[in-house]
A and B are shown apart, each in its own frame.
Chain A
Amino acid sequence: MGKHQSILDRFLQFFSSTKCGLILLGLVGTAVVLGTIILQRSMAREGQIEQIYAPQTIRLLNFLGLFDVFHAWWFILLLGLLGANIALASLERFPQAWRYFSRPHRVADEWFVRKLPFVREIPMGSAQPEEVLRRAAQKLASLGHRAHPEALKKGTLYVEKHRLARLAPYVVHLSLLVIFSGAIVDGTWGYRGYISLGPGMRSQQVESLSSNGAPRLLPFTLRCDGAGMEKYPDGSPRQYWSHLVIEENGREVFRQQIFVNDPLTYKGIRFFQANYGPSGEPTKLVIEASWPGAKRAPQTFTLRPGEVVSLGDSGTKVELADFVPDFVLEGSQLSTRSNEPNNPAVRLTVTQPGAPPSSVWFFPKFPQMNFPSDVGITFQLRDVEMGYTTGLQVAKQPGKELIWGGCLLLTTGLILALYMVHIRIWGVVGRDAKGRPVLLLGGQPSKYRESFETRFNGLADAVEEALRAPASAVAQLEHISV
C-alpha cells in the first residue's frame, strides 16, 4: 500500500510543482506558435490548404489536429492540465501563505531583529526604553510609517506595509482559474452566430459561423427597420448602423439603433453591427423596351422583383428572372464578382400572347453581347436600385461576467504581486557590543532589496536624528503644536 501511495504522492508532487507548470506553459506556447504558423481551417479560403500543402502533409496535419489547433482535443486537454496544475500548486502552498498573512509576527526580541537582513543600532543615551520607542514611532509615523499600537505596548516598534502582497500570487492564480471557468461556461452554454437582414425584414434564426453548424432559434424575433452607413469625404466608411427592433408574440418590446462598437443586448443575447452592404438583389429596375423594325415608340417601365409588368396594350408580359450585379464569365458559367451593380447581367422572362414564355438575357454594359432573341424586343437598363443588408453578429456569452471578473482580479493580483512590496520593520531596545542600551532597528522586504535598503537607511537616519534631539526640545515642540 505504501508503495502505491508513494507513486501517487510523487505524481501529485510533480503535478503541483512550478516545474510542471513551466513545462505546461512551454507546451501551450508551442501549440499556439504552431497554430499561427500552420494555416488554420477557420482562417483559410476555400481550397487554400489543398493549394499550399501536399496531400500527405494534409493527412498528417489533419490527424494531429493541427489545422484547428485551438479546438483540438489535446489543446483543450493541455489548458485543462495547466488549470489543474495552477489549482493544485496554489492549494498546496496557500495554507502556509495564509498563516503568514493572518498571524504576522509583530512582537520581536533582540535576537530576532539582529538576524534580519538590514539592521541598525541607534544610540539612545540615557532615555527610558518606552520613551525611545514612543519617539521613534512618532518620527516614523510622520514619515508615513505607522507603528502597530498593540506591539508598541509590548515593547516592539512594528511597522508593516502591503501585507496583502503576500497573497498576490494566489489572487493571480485564482483569477486565471476564474477566467478559465468563464471560458468553459461560454463554450458549453454560449454560442455565436450570424444574422443577415434587409430593411423591413424579420428573423428568428441565427446562422452558424461554421459551415456545418446548425442554425439556432432566438426566443424572440428580430426586425430591422433600416440600416445605413456614413462616409468620410474621401468615401471611406465612417460608421455603420442598424435600427433594430425586438418583437415578442408579435409585439414590439425593445428598440435600439446599434453602431459598430455599440451593440444591442436583450435577454443575454447581444447583436453587433458586423457589416453592411448591397445584398446583390435589386429592389427596382427601370428598363426601356424598344421594337426594332416595328413602328412603335420605345417604352420605359419600372420592374420590381416578383412583379409582372404588361407592355402597352400588346399583351406582352415581362418578369424579372435573374439579376447578376457584377458578372464575369468563368468558362460558360456566369458568376458575380461583387454585390455592386458594376456590370449587371439581366434575364427577363417575356411572355407574348399565344406563345410559351421565353428567356431574354441582356448586358447593359456590353450591348453587343445581347443574345438575339425571338421576341423581337430590345431591352436597355436605364436605372437600378439595389437592396442592402446589414450583417449582425450574434453572441450569447453566459460566462462573460466570470471572464471580466477574472480579468479584474488578475489585474489586481498582478499589481499587488509586482508593484507592491511587503515590507516590515521591527524596533526593540537592546544592547550594543559594549553593553550600552541601543534602539535596534531591523527590516525585511519581500523583494527589491536595493530600493528597500535606501528606504530603510533613510528611516533609520531620521530616527537617529530624532533621538539625538534633547527630550525637552521635543516636549517643547509638542507643547507649541498643542
Chain B
Amino acid sequence: MAKAVSNHVEDHRPASGEATRGRASTASWILLAVAVSVATVLAISLPRLIGSAGWMTGEKFLYVALIAYLGASALYIASLAIREGRLVAGAVALTRGAFLVHTTAIAVRWVAAGHAPFSNIYEMVLMFSWGVVLFQLLGEWKLGMRYFGAVTIPVAALALVLMQVLPGEIRPLVPALQSTWLQIHVTLAILSYAGFTLSFAAALLYFVKDGTSPRAFLNWTAGLVTGIYGVIVLTSVDRGLDFLLPAWDVAAGEKIMLGPKQALMVAIPGLGWPFVIVMALTATALALSLVGTFSETPAAALWARRCFLASLVGQVVALLLLAVKIESGPYFVPQLNQSLPVRLASSPFLLAGVVCALFMSLAWEVLRWKHESIVEYLPHRDTLDNLIYKTVALSFPLLTLMIIAGAYWANRTWGSYWSWDPKEDWALITWLTYAGYLHMRLTRGWRGRRAATMAIIGFAIVMFTFFGVTYLLPGLHAYA
C-alpha cells in the first residue's frame, strides 16, 4: 500500500520517520497509565484489604475480584491489539479465577445476610457485574467470542469500582421485599441487563470492524470525556478552584444533609485545577479533532491526538490527587467553624464518571495504536451484526419476563400491577427501544451501523434505568 496515500487518508498513522519512536512512546505511555491506574485502585483498596473485617460480608473477596478483573480487562484489550495467544489465555484464566472469587463474595454475603443479595443498589450492582461476567464466560464457551471481553470485563470492573463507594452494609429485608417474586424479578433483571451489555459490546466492536476510523472514535471519546469533566467542573468546582464534596458523617456512614436535597459541602482547596485542565485539554482535543475531520487538516488531527494523550495523563493525575486529597482530610468548613472529613462514597457518580472517562480514553489510545491489527482480529462484520441481534433476542424475553414478574409482584403487594413509577416507566422505555430494534431488523431489514447505533442507545437506556432512575428519579423502587 502506498505510504503517501495512507498517510493522507488514515492520519492516525504517524509519519514514517517518527513512526517507531512515536508508537513506542505511545505504548509506554499507555502501559504507564494502566499501571498507574491499577496502582491507584490498589492503593485505595489495600489498606482496607489488609484489615481483618469485611471477609465475612464478602467485601474483601470483591476487592480481590476487582483487581483481577482490572488485570483481565487490560489483557483482553491488549489481546485485541497484540497477536499473542498467552495474553488471551491469561485474560480468560484471570477472568475465571475472578469469577470464582466474585461468586464466593456473593455466597458469603448471602449467608451473612440470610437472604439473597437482591435488596438494594449495592447488591444489584454486585449481581449485575456477576451476570455480565457469567454471560462473557458462557459466550466464550458456546460462541467463542473472547474478543467481547475487551468491553464486557471493563464494564464489570467499572461496576465493582462503583460498588466500593456505594453503601454496602447488610440490612434486613423490609416486608415488601420478602417475596419469592423478588428473587425472580431481580434475577431476570440482572440477566437481561447483562445480556444487553453483550449486545453493546458487539455493537461497539461492530463500529471498529466496520472501518470507523480512530479519528471518528476520537470525536466521540473526546466528546464524552469532555461531557463528563464538564459536568464535574460545573457541579463540583467553585470559582476559587476548590473542589466541593459533601461532608461525610463517619459514624452514620452517610452524607451530612442540610435540607431534603442539599448536602453540606466541604471545599478541598486547590483540587479543582486538575479537573479544569483535563476538561480544557479534552475540549481542545475535541475541537481540533472536529476541525481535522471536517477540513482534512493533518496538523489539527495530530495536535488533537497530542492534546488527548495529555488529557489522559491529566486524568490519571486528577484521579490520584482526588484519592490522596480525600484520604488526607478532614477539611475546614467555615459555616460550622470545624473540620469535617470527606469520602468518595458520598459521590458515586463522580468516581464512576472519572473511572469511566479514564477507561474510554485508554481504550481509544489502544485502538489508535493498534487499529489495523484489531480490525484484522475481529470477526466479519456480519458475524458481529448477528451477535448483536442474537444477544438482543436472548435478552428481550428476559426483560419482558422481568417486567411481568415485577407487575405480578407489585399486584400482590400493592394491588396494582402498573403504577407508572419512574423505574417501571424506564423499564418500559427500554422495552420499547429493543422492541423497535427487533422490528427494524426483522421486518424492515435494518442491519449494520443503524442497528448497531440502536443497540448502543438501548444499552445507554438500560444503564439509565439501572442507575440513573435510582438516583435521579426515586419512586416506589426506593430500595434500588
Interface positions of A (Cβ within 8 A of B): 18-19, 21-22, 25-26, 28-29, 32-33, 35-36, 40, 42-43, 70, 183, 192, 232, 234, 236-240, 259-263, 270, 272-274, 393-395, 397, 400, 403-404, 407, 410-411, 414-415, 418-419, 447-448, 450
Contacts and interface: CB of A to CB of B under 8 A. Distances in A.
A43 B176 CA distance: 20
Given A22-B439, A70-B420, A419-B397, A29 B415 contact: no
Interface residues of B, number: 49
A32 to B, nearest CB: 5
B25 interface: no
B336 interface: no
Given A70-B420, A400-B411, A411 B175 contact: no
Given A70-B420, A192-B416, A260-B178, A29 B433 contact: yes
A25 B430 CA distance: 11
Contacts of A448: 386, 390
A237 B473 CA distance: 25
Given A239-B175, A263-B415, A407-B404, A21 B425 contact: no
Contacts of A393: 414-416
B426 interface: yes
A239 B178 contact: yes
A260 B396 contact: no
Interface string B177-219: 0110100000000000000000000000000000000000000
B172 A238 contact: yes
Contact of A261 (B178, B396, B428): B178
A418 B435 contact: no
B86 interface: no
B473 A418 contact: no
Given A29-B429, A234-B172, A411-B404, A22 B414 contact: no
Interface in B145-182: 171-176, 178-179, 181
Contacts of A259: 175
A21 to B, nearest CB: 7
A274 B469 CA distance: 24
Interface in B439-457: 439-440, 442-444
Contact of B174 (A35, A237, A394): A237
B241 interface: no
Nearest to A34: B425
A49 to B, nearest CB: 16
A236 B171 contact: yes
Contact of B404 (A22, A240, A410): A410
A399 B339 CA distance: 60
B420 A35 contact: yes
A414 B192 CA distance: 14
A222 B197 CA distance: 50
A400 B408 CA distance: 10
Interface centre among B181, B401, B411, B440 (most CB of A within 10 A): B411
Contact of B407 (A232, A237, A407): A407
A343 B433 CA distance: 53
Nearest to A269: B415
Contacts of A33: 425, 429
A411 B397 contact: yes
A240 B432 contact: no
Contacts of A260: 175-176, 178, 413
Interface centre among B393, B415, B442 (most CB of A within 10 A): B415
A415 B397 contact: yes
The 5 closest A-B pairs by CB, nearest first: A395-B415, A260-B175, A414-B397, A418-B393, A232-B172
A21 B416 CA distance: 28
Contacts of A418: 393-394, 396-397, 438
B350 to A, nearest CB: 23
B397 A394 contact: no
B223 interface: no
Contacts of B181: 261
Given A236-B171, A261-B175, A411 B400 contact: yes
B429 A240 contact: no
Contact of A450 (B386, B400, B444): B386
A329 B174 CA distance: 33
Given A42-B420, A407-B408, 18 more contacts: A22-B444, A32-B425, A33-B425, A192-B416, A236-B174, A239-B178, A259-B175, A261-B413, A272-B412, A272-B414, A394-B415, A397-B411, A397-B417, A400-B411, A407-B404, A418-B394, A419-B393, A448-B386
